Amino acid sequence: MTINSKVLALKYRPQVFEDLIGQNVVVETISNGIKTQKTGNAYLFTGIRGVGKTTTARIVAKALNCLNGIENLCKENKCEHCESITNSNHIDVLEMDAASKTGVDDVRDLIEFSRYGPTSAKYKIFIIDEVHMLSKQAFNALLKTLEEPPIYNNGGSLKFLFCTTEIKKIPITVVSRCQRFDLSRVKSTELFEFIKKVKDKENGKVTDDALKLIVKLSEGSVRDALSLLDRILVSQEKDKEINLNIAQKIFNYLNKSTLIELFRY
């Protein structure tokens, strides 16, 4: 798949900490921890859909293993580790979807795999998405390894990066062993400026009012905003600007103020 054929949510997915929008406190805290080599055994990222939980986890994995270090984290010309992590095929950075692997046997396999040191990187990293889907037995099997992860001969260790939209479903025994980061909804002003830049890069003709509608409908989710912008740009006719009225029709959006006026009459 070429970069131009990707959907906007993939094409403009952040590759370094500076690309993340609306998560300044989280970025600063994690960056300082890595710079001072005071990293936790496990990180837990929680928040609504599309605010950058899995993306942040991947960037942390890069920051820990990048050959250039966190100060010069690869953005354009990626080192072998950053390139492999971006493509989700790094041998020492395992991504697992807990929605499809929920059982205790899956976690036991993971723990057994963790006993062996990393092949090429310094840190062996497990990124577990939708971690709240794990069974109670699976969580219990993880506890010991979470608290005392193996230390490898190269001086590196095992890191867990958990992502979830349902923090309340995760046992407190697991949460207490993690550094928890709550990713907030992105502010409307920041989200508007971001999708406006994306629109300009894609040579789209969309009015600011239509973009503000996208921001409103996305409810602080960057991925939702990019998906809606993608939908508008695909439906755009040649040399025709998408205004608010056209956008409302595309999204089948009912303006509530119009409905209120109708009731008044």
How far, CA to CA in Å, does 186 sit from each of 11, 14, 24, 56? 19, 14, 11, 14
Query: What is the average pLDDT score of the chain?
Result: 89
Its sign, for the CA torsion 85, 148, 180, 29, is: negative
How far, CA to CA in Å, does 105 sit from each of 117, 138, 222? 21, 8, 35
Reply yes or no on whether the pLDDT at 37 is more than 70. yes
Rounded mean pLDDT, 253-260: 64
Reply yes or no on whether the pLDDT at 50 is more than 60. yes
Rounded mean pLDDT, 205-224: 94
Q: Which two tokens stand for residue 70?
A: 């966190």
- Helices 208-218/222-235 angle, 10° precision: 140
Rounded mean pLDDT, 53-81: 90
Rounded mean pLDDT, 15-19: 91
Residue pair 26/181 in contact by the 8 Å Cβ criterion: yes
Residue pair 23/56 in contact by the 8 Å Cβ criterion: yes
Residue pair 153/118 in contact by the 8 Å Cβ criterion: no
User: pTM of this prediction?
Assistant: 0.89
Residue pair 60/32 in contact by the 8 Å Cβ criterion: no
Query: What pLDDT is recorded for position 259?
Result: 56
Instruction: Supply the DSSP symbol for 236.
Output: P
Query: What pLDDT is recorded for position 92?
Result: 92
Query: What pLDDT is recorded for position 90?
Result: 92
Query: What pLDDT is recorded for position 101?
Result: 80
Reply yes or no on whether the pLDDT at 82 is more than 60. yes
Task: Give the percent of the chain with pLDDT over 70.
Answer: 94
- 3-state secondary structure string across 174-212: HHCCCEEEECCCCCHHHHHHHHHHHHHHCCCCECHHHHH
Looking at per-residue pLDDT, the higher value among 265 and 197 belongs to: 197
Reply yes or no on whether the pLDDT at 162 is more than 70. yes
Rounded mean pLDDT, 215-224: 94
Per-residue pLDDT band at 260 (split at 50, 70, 90):
low
Nearest to 88 by CA among 119, 55, 118: 55
The residues, any chain, with a CB within 8 Å of residue 62's CB and separated by 6 or more, are 15, 16, 73, 74, 81, 82, 85, 86
- Give the HSE-up count for residue 195: Cα atoms under 13 Å, Cβ half-sphere: 34
Per-residue pLDDT band at 51 (split at 50, 70, 90):
very high
Reply yes or no on whether the pLDDT at 3 is more than 90. no
For 113-136, the pLDDT digits (tens) are 888 889 889 899 999 999 999 999
Per-residue pLDDT band at 99 (split at 50, 70, 90):
confident
Residue pair 61/29 in contact by the 8 Å Cβ criterion: no
What CA–CA distance (Å, rounded) separates 217 from 255?
12
Query: What pLDDT is recorded for position 235?
Result: 85
Reply yes or no on whether the pLDDT at 63 is more than 90. yes
Q: Which parts of the chain are beta strand (E)?
A: 42-46, 93-97, 124-129, 158-164, 179-182
Query: What pLDDT is recorded for position 214?
Result: 95
Rounded mean pLDDT, 8-28: 92
Query: What pLDDT is recorded for position 258?
Result: 60
What CA–CA distance (Å, rounded) separates 65 from 121?
6
Rounded mean pLDDT, 241-246: 90
Rounded mean pLDDT, 27-31: 93
